[in-house]
Amino acid sequence: MADNLQLNAEGKLKHFLSIEGLEKSLLTEILDVAESFIGMNDQQIKKVPLLRGKTIVNLFFENSTRTRTTFELAAKRLSADVLSMSISTSSTSKGESLLDTIRNLEAMFVDMFVVRHAISGAAHFIAQQTAPHISVINAGDGQHAHPTQAMLDMFTIRQIKQDFSNLRVAIIGDILHSRVARSQIQALNTLGVAEVRVIAPKTLLPAHVESLGVSVSHSLTEGLKDIDVILMLRLQKERMTSALLPSESEYFKCFGLTEDKLKIAKPDAIVMHPGPINRGVEIDSKVADGPQSVILKQVSNGIAIRMAIMAMAMQKQGVM
Protein backbone atom coordinates (compact mmCIF):
# COMPACT_ATOMS: atom_id res chain seq x y z
CA MET A 1 0.00 0.00 0.00
CA ALA A 2 1.22 3.47 -0.83
CA ASP A 3 2.05 4.88 2.54
CA ASN A 4 3.08 8.30 1.35
CA LEU A 5 -0.60 8.60 0.57
CA GLN A 6 -0.70 9.67 4.20
CA LEU A 7 1.46 12.75 3.65
CA ASN A 8 0.95 15.86 1.53
CA ALA A 9 3.60 17.42 -0.71
CA GLU A 10 5.14 19.18 2.28
CA GLY A 11 5.45 15.93 4.23
CA LYS A 12 2.63 16.89 6.60
CA LEU A 13 -0.06 14.51 7.70
CA LYS A 14 -2.97 14.35 5.26
CA HIS A 15 -4.56 10.97 6.00
CA PHE A 16 -3.89 8.78 9.03
CA LEU A 17 -4.22 5.21 7.83
CA SER A 18 -1.45 3.19 9.44
CA ILE A 19 1.68 3.69 11.52
CA GLU A 20 3.70 2.05 8.77
CA GLY A 21 5.57 4.62 6.72
CA LEU A 22 5.39 7.38 9.33
CA GLU A 23 8.63 8.61 10.83
CA LYS A 24 9.50 8.89 14.48
CA SER A 25 9.48 12.70 14.29
CA LEU A 26 5.88 12.74 13.06
CA LEU A 27 4.71 10.29 15.73
CA THR A 28 6.46 12.40 18.35
CA GLU A 29 4.79 15.52 16.98
CA ILE A 30 1.38 13.85 17.33
CA LEU A 31 2.19 12.97 20.96
CA ASP A 32 3.36 16.54 21.66
CA VAL A 33 0.27 18.16 20.17
CA ALA A 34 -1.95 15.73 22.11
CA GLU A 35 -0.13 16.73 25.29
CA SER A 36 -1.36 20.29 24.83
CA PHE A 37 -4.93 19.14 24.32
CA ILE A 38 -4.78 17.40 27.71
CA GLY A 39 -4.36 20.87 29.26
CA MET A 40 -7.76 21.80 27.83
CA ASN A 41 -9.44 19.73 30.52
CA ASP A 42 -8.87 22.69 32.89
CA GLN A 43 -11.00 24.95 30.73
CA GLN A 44 -14.55 25.76 31.73
CA ILE A 45 -15.48 25.58 28.06
CA LYS A 46 -13.73 22.46 26.78
CA LYS A 47 -13.57 23.50 23.16
CA VAL A 48 -11.03 25.07 20.83
CA PRO A 49 -12.02 26.70 17.53
CA LEU A 50 -9.50 24.89 15.30
CA LEU A 51 -11.98 22.98 13.13
CA ARG A 52 -14.90 25.41 13.26
CA GLY A 53 -17.03 25.07 10.17
CA LYS A 54 -15.52 21.72 9.19
CA THR A 55 -17.71 18.65 8.81
CA ILE A 56 -16.47 15.27 10.00
CA VAL A 57 -18.32 12.04 9.31
CA ASN A 58 -17.70 8.96 11.42
CA LEU A 59 -18.34 6.07 9.08
CA PHE A 60 -18.60 2.96 11.21
CA PHE A 61 -19.22 -0.18 9.21
CA GLU A 62 -18.37 -2.20 12.32
CA ASN A 63 -19.55 -1.84 15.90
CA SER A 64 -17.60 0.29 18.32
CA THR A 65 -18.41 2.19 21.47
CA ARG A 66 -15.17 3.62 22.79
CA THR A 67 -13.53 4.48 19.52
CA ARG A 68 -16.63 6.07 18.01
CA THR A 69 -17.53 8.11 21.07
CA THR A 70 -13.99 9.36 21.63
CA PHE A 71 -13.69 10.34 17.95
CA GLU A 72 -17.02 12.12 18.24
CA LEU A 73 -16.01 13.95 21.41
CA ALA A 74 -12.63 14.83 19.94
CA ALA A 75 -14.27 16.33 16.85
CA LYS A 76 -16.71 18.31 18.99
CA ARG A 77 -13.93 19.65 21.21
CA LEU A 78 -12.25 20.91 18.04
CA SER A 79 -15.54 22.68 17.20
CA ALA A 80 -16.19 20.59 14.09
CA ASP A 81 -19.67 19.50 13.10
CA VAL A 82 -19.77 15.76 13.43
CA LEU A 83 -22.07 13.12 12.12
CA SER A 84 -21.79 9.51 13.26
CA MET A 85 -23.14 6.83 10.97
CA SER A 86 -23.33 3.13 11.69
CA ILE A 87 -23.68 1.30 8.43
CA SER A 88 -24.51 -2.34 7.97
CA THR A 89 -22.14 -4.31 5.77
CA SER A 90 -24.70 -6.89 4.75
CA SER A 91 -24.66 -5.77 1.13
CA THR A 92 -22.93 -8.27 -1.15
CA SER A 93 -21.41 -5.62 -3.41
CA LYS A 94 -19.41 -3.96 -0.65
CA GLY A 95 -16.87 -2.18 -2.83
CA GLU A 96 -19.51 -0.53 -4.92
CA SER A 97 -21.83 0.46 -2.13
CA LEU A 98 -18.91 1.83 -0.11
CA LEU A 99 -17.96 4.13 -2.97
CA ASP A 100 -21.57 5.16 -3.43
CA THR A 101 -21.80 6.08 0.23
CA ILE A 102 -18.64 8.14 -0.06
CA ARG A 103 -19.81 9.97 -3.19
CA ASN A 104 -23.09 10.86 -1.51
CA LEU A 105 -21.38 12.21 1.57
CA GLU A 106 -18.89 14.17 -0.54
CA ALA A 107 -21.90 15.84 -2.16
CA MET A 108 -22.81 17.07 1.33
CA PHE A 109 -19.48 18.97 1.58
CA VAL A 110 -17.79 16.74 4.11
CA ASP A 111 -14.16 17.53 5.07
CA MET A 112 -13.08 14.34 6.82
CA PHE A 113 -14.03 10.70 7.07
CA VAL A 114 -13.25 8.61 10.12
CA VAL A 115 -13.62 5.04 8.93
CA ARG A 116 -13.98 1.70 10.66
CA HIS A 117 -14.48 -1.29 8.43
CA ALA A 118 -14.22 -5.07 8.72
CA ILE A 119 -12.18 -5.28 5.52
CA SER A 120 -8.43 -4.61 5.67
CA GLY A 121 -7.51 -1.68 3.44
CA ALA A 122 -10.95 -0.03 3.49
CA ALA A 123 -9.61 3.29 4.80
CA HIS A 124 -6.79 3.25 2.22
CA PHE A 125 -9.34 2.60 -0.49
CA ILE A 126 -11.46 5.56 0.59
CA ALA A 127 -8.40 7.81 0.85
CA GLN A 128 -7.46 6.90 -2.71
CA GLN A 129 -10.95 7.39 -4.09
CA THR A 130 -12.20 10.41 -2.23
CA ALA A 131 -12.07 14.06 -3.32
CA PRO A 132 -8.59 15.59 -2.90
CA HIS A 133 -9.51 18.02 -0.14
CA ILE A 134 -10.91 15.30 2.14
CA SER A 135 -8.82 13.66 4.88
CA VAL A 136 -9.37 10.08 5.99
CA ILE A 137 -8.62 8.63 9.41
CA ASN A 138 -8.49 4.88 9.92
CA ALA A 139 -10.44 3.88 13.02
CA GLY A 140 -9.69 0.19 12.48
CA ASP A 141 -9.69 -1.85 9.26
CA GLY A 142 -10.06 -5.62 9.35
CA GLN A 143 -6.95 -7.27 10.76
CA HIS A 144 -4.70 -4.60 9.28
CA ALA A 145 -4.35 -1.54 11.51
CA HIS A 146 -5.83 0.54 14.30
CA PRO A 147 -3.33 3.40 14.36
CA THR A 148 -5.17 5.83 16.64
CA GLN A 149 -5.44 3.10 19.30
CA ALA A 150 -1.70 2.50 19.00
CA MET A 151 -0.99 6.23 19.32
CA LEU A 152 -3.14 6.63 22.43
CA ASP A 153 -1.28 3.66 23.90
CA MET A 154 2.06 5.31 23.07
CA PHE A 155 0.80 8.54 24.62
CA THR A 156 -0.21 6.74 27.82
CA ILE A 157 3.14 4.94 27.99
CA ARG A 158 5.07 8.20 27.52
CA GLN A 159 2.91 9.97 30.08
CA ILE A 160 3.93 7.43 32.74
CA LYS A 161 7.36 6.21 31.63
CA GLN A 162 8.58 9.45 29.96
CA ASP A 163 11.12 7.78 27.68
CA PHE A 164 10.72 4.88 25.27
CA SER A 165 14.34 3.88 24.82
CA ASN A 166 14.78 1.61 27.86
CA LEU A 167 11.36 0.01 27.86
CA ARG A 168 10.57 -3.67 27.44
CA VAL A 169 6.99 -4.02 26.28
CA ALA A 170 4.96 -7.23 26.20
CA ILE A 171 1.92 -7.68 23.97
CA ILE A 172 -0.17 -10.58 25.20
CA GLY A 173 -2.96 -12.46 23.47
CA ASP A 174 -4.35 -12.93 20.01
CA ILE A 175 -1.61 -11.36 17.92
CA LEU A 176 -2.74 -13.23 14.82
CA HIS A 177 -6.07 -11.49 14.40
CA SER A 178 -5.28 -8.19 16.11
CA ARG A 179 -5.06 -4.94 14.16
CA VAL A 180 -4.27 -3.25 17.48
CA ALA A 181 -1.19 -5.42 17.98
CA ARG A 182 0.08 -4.77 14.46
CA SER A 183 -0.15 -1.02 14.93
CA GLN A 184 1.33 -1.19 18.44
CA ILE A 185 4.34 -3.17 17.22
CA GLN A 186 5.01 -0.65 14.43
CA ALA A 187 4.62 2.33 16.75
CA LEU A 188 6.81 0.85 19.51
CA ASN A 189 9.56 -0.03 17.06
CA THR A 190 9.39 3.38 15.34
CA LEU A 191 9.61 5.16 18.69
CA GLY A 192 12.56 2.95 19.58
CA VAL A 193 11.76 0.83 22.63
CA ALA A 194 14.39 -1.63 23.84
CA GLU A 195 12.22 -4.69 23.17
CA VAL A 196 8.78 -5.66 21.95
CA ARG A 197 7.89 -9.15 23.15
CA VAL A 198 4.78 -10.97 22.00
CA ILE A 199 3.38 -13.61 24.34
CA ALA A 200 0.79 -15.98 22.94
CA PRO A 201 0.01 -19.61 22.16
CA LYS A 202 1.40 -20.75 18.80
CA THR A 203 -2.08 -20.87 17.29
CA LEU A 204 -2.58 -17.14 17.89
CA LEU A 205 0.69 -15.94 16.36
CA PRO A 206 1.21 -15.15 12.69
CA ALA A 207 3.85 -17.17 10.83
CA HIS A 208 7.29 -15.49 10.88
CA VAL A 209 6.11 -13.05 13.55
CA GLU A 210 9.77 -12.26 14.37
CA SER A 211 10.02 -10.43 11.06
CA LEU A 212 7.81 -7.70 12.57
CA GLY A 213 10.67 -6.85 14.91
CA VAL A 214 9.54 -8.70 18.01
CA SER A 215 10.80 -11.44 20.28
CA VAL A 216 8.45 -14.33 21.01
CA SER A 217 7.42 -16.23 24.10
CA HIS A 218 4.81 -18.95 24.45
CA SER A 219 4.75 -18.80 28.23
CA LEU A 220 3.34 -15.97 30.31
CA THR A 221 5.50 -16.81 33.33
CA GLU A 222 8.65 -16.77 31.21
CA GLY A 223 7.65 -13.86 29.00
CA LEU A 224 6.76 -11.37 31.73
CA LYS A 225 10.28 -11.21 33.16
CA ASP A 226 11.79 -7.66 33.09
CA ILE A 227 8.69 -6.20 31.44
CA ASP A 228 7.86 -2.49 31.98
CA VAL A 229 4.64 -2.26 30.01
CA ILE A 230 2.00 -4.96 29.51
CA LEU A 231 -0.35 -4.53 26.58
CA MET A 232 -3.23 -6.99 26.84
CA LEU A 233 -5.35 -7.85 23.84
CA ARG A 234 -8.99 -8.81 23.83
CA LEU A 235 -9.64 -12.48 23.13
CA GLN A 236 -12.48 -12.66 20.66
CA LYS A 237 -14.99 -15.33 21.62
CA GLU A 238 -15.18 -16.67 18.09
CA ARG A 239 -11.59 -17.94 18.42
CA MET A 240 -12.89 -20.68 20.69
CA THR A 241 -15.33 -21.96 18.13
CA SER A 242 -12.72 -21.94 15.38
CA ALA A 243 -10.71 -24.53 17.33
CA LEU A 244 -7.68 -22.27 17.83
CA LEU A 245 -8.06 -22.63 21.60
CA PRO A 246 -9.40 -25.43 23.78
CA SER A 247 -11.55 -23.31 26.14
CA GLU A 248 -11.80 -19.94 27.86
CA SER A 249 -10.83 -21.40 31.23
CA GLU A 250 -7.84 -23.15 29.73
CA TYR A 251 -6.76 -19.91 28.08
CA PHE A 252 -7.15 -17.99 31.33
CA LYS A 253 -5.07 -20.59 33.14
CA CYS A 254 -2.17 -20.21 30.71
CA PHE A 255 -2.38 -16.64 29.41
CA GLY A 256 -4.79 -14.79 31.71
CA LEU A 257 -3.11 -11.95 33.61
CA THR A 258 -3.60 -12.50 37.34
CA GLU A 259 -2.09 -10.68 40.32
CA ASP A 260 0.41 -13.51 40.80
CA LYS A 261 1.55 -13.44 37.19
CA LEU A 262 1.79 -9.66 37.24
CA LYS A 263 4.37 -9.94 40.05
CA ILE A 264 6.76 -11.54 37.57
CA ALA A 265 6.98 -8.26 35.61
CA LYS A 266 8.86 -5.24 37.00
CA PRO A 267 7.27 -3.87 40.19
CA ASP A 268 6.35 -0.60 38.47
CA ALA A 269 5.01 -2.27 35.33
CA ILE A 270 1.79 -0.82 33.94
CA VAL A 271 -1.12 -2.82 32.55
CA MET A 272 -3.00 -1.64 29.49
CA HIS A 273 -5.95 -2.97 27.49
CA PRO A 274 -7.69 -1.46 24.46
CA GLY A 275 -11.11 -2.65 25.65
CA PRO A 276 -13.62 -4.08 25.76
CA ILE A 277 -12.25 -6.33 28.51
CA ASN A 278 -13.21 -9.95 28.86
CA ARG A 279 -12.85 -10.25 32.61
CA GLY A 280 -11.76 -13.71 33.63
CA VAL A 281 -10.69 -14.61 30.10
CA GLU A 282 -7.57 -12.58 29.29
CA ILE A 283 -7.38 -10.56 32.49
CA ASP A 284 -8.44 -10.96 36.10
CA SER A 285 -10.71 -8.23 37.50
CA LYS A 286 -8.25 -7.60 40.33
CA VAL A 287 -5.60 -6.67 37.78
CA ALA A 288 -7.93 -4.73 35.48
CA ASP A 289 -9.12 -2.61 38.42
CA GLY A 290 -5.83 -2.73 40.33
CA PRO A 291 -3.23 -0.04 41.02
CA GLN A 292 -1.03 -0.95 38.05
CA SER A 293 -3.88 -0.70 35.56
CA VAL A 294 -4.02 2.44 33.41
CA ILE A 295 -6.94 1.22 31.29
CA LEU A 296 -9.23 4.17 32.04
CA LYS A 297 -6.38 6.63 31.51
CA GLN A 298 -6.10 5.16 28.03
CA VAL A 299 -9.73 6.03 27.38
CA SER A 300 -9.26 9.67 28.48
CA ASN A 301 -6.09 9.95 26.43
CA GLY A 302 -7.99 8.64 23.41
CA ILE A 303 -9.78 11.98 23.14
CA ALA A 304 -6.60 14.10 23.17
CA ILE A 305 -4.73 11.88 20.71
CA ARG A 306 -7.67 11.84 18.28
CA MET A 307 -7.95 15.63 18.55
CA ALA A 308 -4.27 15.93 17.67
CA ILE A 309 -4.52 13.58 14.69
CA MET A 310 -7.68 15.19 13.34
CA ALA A 311 -6.28 18.72 13.73
CA MET A 312 -2.98 17.79 12.09
CA ALA A 313 -4.66 16.00 9.18
CA MET A 314 -6.92 18.98 8.55
CA GLN A 315 -4.21 21.62 8.60
CA LYS A 316 -3.56 23.32 5.31
CA GLN A 317 -6.40 21.41 3.76
CA GLY A 318 -6.12 21.68 0.03
CA VAL A 319 -2.31 21.59 -0.02
CA MET A 320 -1.61 18.37 -1.88
Partner 1 sequence: MLEIHDLLNKLEAGLNRIIVERQLTNPLMIGIRTGGVWIAEQMHQRLNITEPLGLLDISFYRDDFSQIGVNPNVKPSQLPQHIEGRNIILIDDVFYTGRTIRAALNEIFDYGRPNQVVLGVLIERDGRQIPLSPDCVGASVTLNADQRIKLTGPEPLAIHLQLIDTVA
- The residues annotated with a catalytic role in the active site are 66-67, 94, 116, 146
Q: How far is the CB of 65 from partner 1 (least distance, A)?
A: 27
| Out of 246, 289, 316, 320, the residue judged to bind partner 1 by CB under 8 A | 316
DSSP H or E run through 85: strand 81-86
**Of 48 and 212, which has the nearer Cβ to partner 1?**
48
CB of 26 to partner 1, least distance (A): 9
Interaction between residue 317 and partner 1 (CB under 8 A): yes
> How remote is the C-alpha of 237 from its chain's centroid?
20
Report whether the peptide linkage leading into residue 267 is cis, meaning its omega lies within 30 degrees of zero: no
The per-residue DSSP string of 219-251 comes to -HHHHTTT-SEEEE----THHHHTTSSS-HHHH
Q: What is the DSSP letter of 202?
A: G
Is residue 266 at the binding interface for partner 1, with CB under 8 A as the rule?
Answer: no
Indicate whether 49 belongs to the interface with partner 1 (CB under 8 A).
Answer: yes
Instruction: Name which position in 48, 99, 119, 240 contacts partner 1 (CB under 8 A).
Output: 48
Q: Which is nearer to partner 1, 50 or 299 (CB)?
A: 50
108, 9, 8, 109: which is closest to 313 by C-alpha? 8
Which residue lies nearer to partner 1 by CB, 29 or 248? 29
Q: Which of 2, 4, 11, 32 binds partner 1 (CB under 8 A)?
A: 32
For partner 1, which residue of 5, 7, 20, 29 counts as binding (CB under 8 A)? 29
**Comparing C-alpha atoms, which of 33, 31, 29, 51 is closest to residue 112?**
51
Instruction: Compute the distance between CA of residue 118 and CA of residue 7 in angstroms, rounded to an integer.
Output: 24
Among 47, 237, 253, 263, binds partner 1 (CB under 8 A): 47
Q: Name the minimum Å distance from CB 156 to partner 1.
A: 17
Q: Is 108 exposed, middle or buried (0-12, 13-18, 19+ CB in 10 A)?
A: exposed
**Count of residues touching partner 1 (by CB under 8 A):** 24
Only one of the segments 147-155, 180-188, 293-301, 308-316 lies at the binding site for partner 1 (rule: CB under 8 A); that segment is 308-316
Q: Does 11 bind partner 1 (CB under 8 A)?
A: no
Residues 96, 100: Cα–Cα separation, whole Å: 6
- Distance, in Å, from the CA atom of 176 to the CA atom of 146, rounded to the nearest integer, reads 14
- The residues binding partner 1 (CB under 8 A) are 12, 29, 32-33, 35-40, 42-45, 47-50, 308, 311-312, 315-317
